[in-house]
Amino acid sequence: MVMNDDLIGGAVGPYELVDRLGTGGMAGVYLARLPGDGQAALAIKVLALRSTDRAAQRQRFLREAQMTSRLRHPHILPVYDYGESSGKLYLVMKLIHGGTLAERIARGPLEPGEVAAILTQVAGALDYAHARGVIHRDIKPQNILFDAGGDAYLSDFGIAQPGDSAGAEEAPGFTGTVAYASPEQCRGEELTPTSDLYTLGVVVYEMLTGTLPFQGSTPLAVMRQHLTGPVPDPRAANPALPPGVTAVLDKALAKRPSARYRSAASFSGALNRALYSHSQPEQPSVERIALAASAQPVRPPGPMPDALRLRVTRRLLAVVALLLALAMVAAALILTFAR
């Protein structure tokens, strides 16, 4: 079920809905404002309650919206308000105008520097949330937004509902987006922060290559790829990538959670090293410098310049003359005392 545009011009809670910004499954995102505020400057995500499990859906949404609203990080999209109105749940967020990561990927693979910058910002947001017990569960390019300055914001923490993503309705009991799901997510297991790191790995793979690592004709076929399929070499899709990227993504997309990176920051750091270490000249170690110095041949001294030879000769003659004079004085004194 996709909500129609009957809401435009109406209200959800105290907010007036001015225009539709986007649609996803059972949710719509609207441009909104508070009455009397003039220019619309808010974004509201509105979800229609399903008839089957309204109480459970409402309880989960309100609990997780409350947790998300407490997250304060420069790269997490701020949540200002949330609630329920006329059988619809809503979430009020900051309005930003730079588009989504999905729109950037649609134009082709991103440059390595852009990938590194986006991952650094998103990784910081994700580690911050994990440290506060919040798991995202639905990291995907559509949930990474940009402001006018190009800074990335991670949105929709923990509020993705079953059926909120394309294809999810074909996998009963599944929550999230199949194309980015971790193996444990595909098995319906309880999720941990390492599940978010896997889905972030899928997003990074897609940023670098312009394509998803695991694909299939049905959601279940994609799930099987997540569960048992080997990670495709990203350099097959983008030969310009340095060799080290393959090992980084293999670790990020490991089937076993314990084999993955322990934090988003460690994943980001490993990718940065893989992307840039090949282009930096190798710095010699202290041991290598010492070995090179010891291997230098010892050269015999060259001929002494004429001017220097003349100065040395004059000094030697002066010393000899002084010694002779001292010897003559000593001899004269001895003869005098002998008489």
Give the residue numbers marked as catalytic.
Answer: 138
H or E segment at 88?
A: strand 88-94
CB atoms within 10 A of CB 14: 12
CB atoms within 10 A of CB 221: 13
Sign of CA dihedral 142, 143, 145, 151: negative
Amino acid letter at 333?
L
Residue 109 CA: distances (Å) to CA of 139, 199, 215: 18, 18, 17
- 294: tokens are 């010891």
143 near 156, Cβ under 8 Å? yes
Taking alpha carbons only, the member of 73, 86, 59 closest to residue 161 is 59
- 223: tokens are 């799930």
Q: DSSP string of 210-277? A: SS-SS--SSHHHHHHHHHHPPPPPHHHH-TTS-THHHHHHHHHT-SSGGGS-SSHHHHHHHHHHHHHG
Contacts of 306 (CB under 8 A, 6+ apart): none
73 near 124, Cβ under 8 Å? yes
For residues 154 and 93, what is the distance between their CA atoms, to the nearest angstrom?
Answer: 12
Q: What is the DSSP letter of 13?
A: T
Taking alpha carbons only, the member of 175, 104, 172 closest to residue 138 is 175
Query: In sequence order, what are the beta bridge partners of 15?
Result: 12
Query: In sequence order, what are the beta bridge partners of 30?
Result: 20, 44
Q: 92 in helix, strand or coil? A: strand
